[in-house]
């Protein structure tokens, strides 16, 4: 759709996309910060995968395995996190997040998100744990 073909409704919907993506990422951040696994899980699709390097070993987890690991570690009340970048097209998006002091560790996260009937959700996450690399 060209800019000339966009209706005011199209413009409003397009303008709202980055905020909707940011809201999904905020559920992830708030879930980690508070230790609320239900809130954390709500940021993901049920089939999501989480992969990365943790303590020098590659990991590839299902959403349940990731949630179990987060639950085991507990809340991270000192967590600071910010979205560095995001891009989207249609119903697909990617985002880069930097997190500091998730229970003493700095993380770089890369998310792939999809938009479904229930909004934007993380379909996969790849991370690098700086202090545990």
In the chain (133 residues long), the average pLDDT of successive 10-residue segments reads 67 82 97 97 98 90 97 96 95 97 94 96 96 61
Q: Give the N- to C-terminal CA distance of the chain in Å, as an integer.
A: 44
Distance CA 32, CA 59 (A): 19
Task: Give the model's pLDDT for residue 4.
Answer: 61
pLDDT of 13 reads 72
How far, in whole angstroms, is CA 69 from its chain's centroid? 16
CA contacts within 13 A on the Cβ side of 119: 14
Q: Please give the pLDDT value at position 54.
A: 78
Q: Return the CA Rg of the chain.
A: 16
Domains and CATH numbers, the chain: 3-132 (3.10.450.50)
| pLDDT in the model for residue 2 | 57
Q: Judge contact between 107 and 125, C-beta under 8 A.
A: no
pLDDT value, residue 133? 46
Task: Report the pLDDT value the prediction gives residue 14, as an integer from 0 to 100.
Answer: 75
Q: What is the DSSP string of 6-75?
A: --HHHHHHHHHHHHHHHHHHHHHHHHHHHT-HHHHHTTEEEEEEEEEEETTEEEEEEHHHHHHHHHHH--
Which SS3 state, helix, strand or coil, does residue 130 take? helix
């Amino acid at each position: 759709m060209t800019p000339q073909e966009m209706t005011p409704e199209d413009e409003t919907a397009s303008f709202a996309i980055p905020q909707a993506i940011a809201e999904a990422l905020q559920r992830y951040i708030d879930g980690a910060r508070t230790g609320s696994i239900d809130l954390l899980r709500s940021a993901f699709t049920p089939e999501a995968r989480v992969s990365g390097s943790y303590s020098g070993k590659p990991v590839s987890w299902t959403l349940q395995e990731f949630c179990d690991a987060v639950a085991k570690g507990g809340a991270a009340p000192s967590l600071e996190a910010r979205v560095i970048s995001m891009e989207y097209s249609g119903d697909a998006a990617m985002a880069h997040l930097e997190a500091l002091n998730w229970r003493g560790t700095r993380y770089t996260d890369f998310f792939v998100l999809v938009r479904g009937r229930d909004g934007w959700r993380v379909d996969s996450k790849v991370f690098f744990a700086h202090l545990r690399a």
